[in-house]
């Protein structure tokens, strides 16, 4: 399995920055099957005013069974930021 730009298992009291956000990934040709790109999981934050798994851009060609741009298992106390929003994904 090819894994690119995934963010996992992060714990912090607060976040005002970017966790797994604003990344750009361009995969062409040889990525094959079972590709995992730009997924965010297992994030535990007390207060979030930043972005988590948001604003990513992924362009893939030739991939099969792809897992792209998923945000899961995110626990946040107070949130005024972006979680899993504004992602742009193109798979051909």
The Cβ-side half-sphere exposure at 86, using a 13 Å CA radius, reads 14
How far is Cα 92 from Cα 85, in angstroms, rounded to an integer? 22
How far is Cα 59 from Cα 41, in angstroms, rounded to an integer? 21
Model's pTM, two decimal places? 0.85
Per-residue pLDDT reduced to its tens digit, 34-83: 788 889 999 999 999 999 999 999 988 877 778 888 999 999 999 999 99
């Amino acid at each position: 399995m090819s894994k690119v730009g995934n963010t996992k298992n992060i714990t912090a009291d607060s976040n005002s920055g970017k966790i797994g956000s604003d990344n750009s990934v361009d995969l062409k040709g040889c990525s094959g099957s079972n590709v995992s790109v730009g997924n965010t999981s297992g994030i535990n934050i007390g207060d979030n005013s930043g972005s988590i798994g948001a604003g990513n851009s992924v362009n893939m060609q030739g991939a099969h069974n792809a897992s792209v741009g998923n945000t899961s298992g995110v626990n946040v106390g107070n949130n005024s930021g972006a979680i899993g929003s504004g992602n742009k994904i193109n798979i051909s």
